[in-house]
Amino acid sequence: MILFGLYTGQRLGDIARLTWANVDLPGRRIRLTTQKTGKTLIIPMAEPLARHVMGLPVSDDTSSPLHPRAFCVLEAQGKTGGLSNQVR
């Protein structure tokens, strides 16, 4: 998640909500709609982030989260405070 924050500049909650459907590996892009503004973004993946993503365990289910533990924490708490504390 830290690499995603570093290379995309997105908010913690938006990163935690990312699923494989948001990732275009061949195009090396991430497409997401931000929770706060509702704006759709297409973000090119920097090489280090692309290498990291390619090393993640891929799911056949495109709705699977890229960061399952963070996704579960966010879903359970409904806010990013718990995630922020863990990152800190």
CA torsion through residues 82, 65, 4, 38, sign: negative
Our count of domains for the chain comes to 1
Mean pLDDT on 60-86 = 81
Cβ neighbours of 88 (radius 10 Å): 5
Cβ neighbours of 80 (radius 10 Å): 19
Residue-wise pLDDT for 40-69, tens only, equals 999 999 999 999 999 988 888 999 999 898
Task: For residue 66, give its domain range.
Answer: 2-87
pTM score, whole prediction: 0.85
Residues contacting 15, CB < 8 A, separation 6+ = 1, 4, 5, 8, 67, 70
